Chain A
Amino acid sequence: MSRSRRLVEDWRYADQSALALLWPLPAPERIVVAPGESVTRALVHEGEGVVQLEVELGAGAVADIRVLSHGAGYGRVEVSATLGEGADFTLGAVQLCDGDAKREVVASVTHAGPDATSRQLVRSVAGGRSSASVLGRIVVDKGADGTDAEQSIRALLLARGASANARPELEIHADDVKCAHGCAVGELDEGALFYMAARGLDPATARALMLQAFIAEPFAGSTMEEQLMGAARTALGAMA
């Protein structure tokens, strides 16, 4: 796919009228991680707006980015990362959408050097008439042998009017590469909800436990895990 065509594709699920009001966007924030250094970032994006991060990882560098995106209106978090030799990149993102919200996470991870590892974990919960979109790309450049890349995208729909889009994309130009990816859209498991009720949990508590469990993975292992889960629990509690 040509560069310009790809750029257009990256905005296909965007709320165009909301975007027009936000345009032109400020320049993306650039995070450069020097060879051997590490950076962690926990970002809470509430409400309307576009957040763009460009992360460049030198040889052996580590970047750990966690995102909680929630609230009303059109919200987009875009993270692109370029990995040098032996670098390690983690993106764990949760988006919670309700009402008429339109939210999206757009991730692009490029393995430019060999033996780098990356993980993209995105969990979306969509209620009301909201829509949650995830575009996740893994690019493995020529010569980036020994790449170990993983991508997992899951969405849970809480209402009939809610929708989720997931578009995984793999572009591999090297031979010795491991790329695992998975996508799933589902609803709360009725069987599990009844099992919990049969043990004495009221419906609201059972549902809250299930939702917390669903969104826990992208925050697991973060130094900010407790704060992010706390904020997510509050946001989930406010959802219908």
Chain B
Amino acid sequence: MLTIDNLHATVADKPILKGLSLTINPGEVHAIMGPNGAGKSTLGYTLGGRPGYEVTGGSVSFMGQDLLALEPHERAAAGLFLGFQYPVEIPGVSFVQFLREALNAQRKARGEAPLSGGEFLKLAREQAALLKMDMDMLKRPVNVGFSGGEKKRAEMVQMGILNPSLAVLDETDSGLDIDALRVVGEGINAIMRAKNQDGTGKSVLLITHYQRLLDYVKPDFVHVLAGGRIVKSGGPELALALEEQGYEAVTA
């Protein structure tokens, strides 16, 4: 699904990622944990192709394509979804309009027919219900006036509608209360544990500070990111050890 090999990236000429390697196979859930400033969000933005995040070395292969050669919108159409830590407010553009345009742009890029207004609304209603989000929220401007938790829920509704092969979720658990955390965790499972159209499994890369989301979305692998590289990998037990003992003790 995704093979990151010796990735180096800078932000404003400052090296952040310094030789990061990671392989994610179809159907796998990986969690990346790490202290502040380790490069977790930079990894997400670099995979998404955000301007200002410059790759200075290494390679990223996504479903057989050179991910780094694609524009951000082409990466989305190829099946990559980036969940934002801080979803952006866009006044004047409704979620419904935004997501319908986005979905149909992706479908067009893949050579698929666009969804009609009715078909899209049916899909949006299903996905909103899955995340227990009122459909009326999707008629409002993108993220405007949403609480932190509502924005994260809305990210997952978007993920459900766009139905990616790989989701990179940057601190989707931050800003969520206990109930919302469970709803979002169950939403990720429902969307990403389903199969792709071709029968292959979907994959998830969870970027998180805390173990608590991993109670709901059980990872197959847990990695510790520090100083721009993965310094330790293990199974779900690694996340528990981190929670108990802290990064310094576990990575020492």
Contact = CB atoms under 8 A, between A and B. Distances in A.
A101 B91 CA distance: 28
A214 B106 CA distance: 24
B237 interface: no
Given A200-B76, A202-B73, A195 B90 contact: yes
A214 B71 CA distance: 25
A interface, how many residues as a size bin?
A: 20 to 34
A205 B108 CA distance: 13
A197 interface: yes
Interface string A195-208: 11111111101100
B87 interface: yes
Contact of B101 (A198, A205, A216): A205
Chain A binding surface, main DSSP class: helix
A209 to B, nearest CB: 5
Interface stretch (A89-97, A130-138, A145-153, A186-194): A186-194
Contacts of A205: 101, 105
A209 B105 CA distance: 13
B92 A213 contact: yes
Contacts of A202: 71, 73, 105
A200 B88 contact: no
A200 B84 CA distance: 14
B162 A214 contact: no
A210 B51 contact: no
Contacts of B101: 201, 205, 209
A200 B90 contact: no
B139 interface: no
B156 to A, nearest CB: 13
B11 interface: no
A195 B77 contact: no
A89 to B, nearest CB: 24
Given A194-B50, A194-B51, A194-B72, A201 B105 contact: yes
Interface in A165-199: 189-192, 194-199
Interface in B156-173: 158, 162
B181 to A, nearest CB: 23
Contacts of A214: 92
B90 A213 contact: yes
A192 B105 CA distance: 17
A190 B45 CA distance: 14
Interface string A94-105: 000000000000
Nearest to A213: B92
A217 interface: yes
Contacts of A198: 48, 50, 72-73, 75-76, 81-82, 84
B35 to A, nearest CB: 25
B73 A200 contact: yes
B178 to A, nearest CB: 28
Interface string B96-127: 01110111011001000000000000000000
B90 to A, nearest CB: 5
Interface string B43-87: 000001111000000000000000000011101110001101001
17 contacts: A190-B51, A194-B50, A195-B84, A197-B72, A198-B76, A198-B81, A199-B76, A199-B98, A199-B162, A200-B106, A201-B102, A201-B105, A205-B101, A205-B105, A210-B90, A212-B93, A216-B92
Interface of A: 189-192, 194-203, 205-206, 209-210, 212-214, 216-217
User: Shortest 5 CB-CB distances between A and B: which pairs?
Assistant: A213-B92, A197-B72, A200-B76, A200-B106, A199-B102
Interface of B: 48-51, 71-73, 75-77, 81-82, 84, 87-93, 97-99, 101-103, 105-106, 109, 141, 158, 162
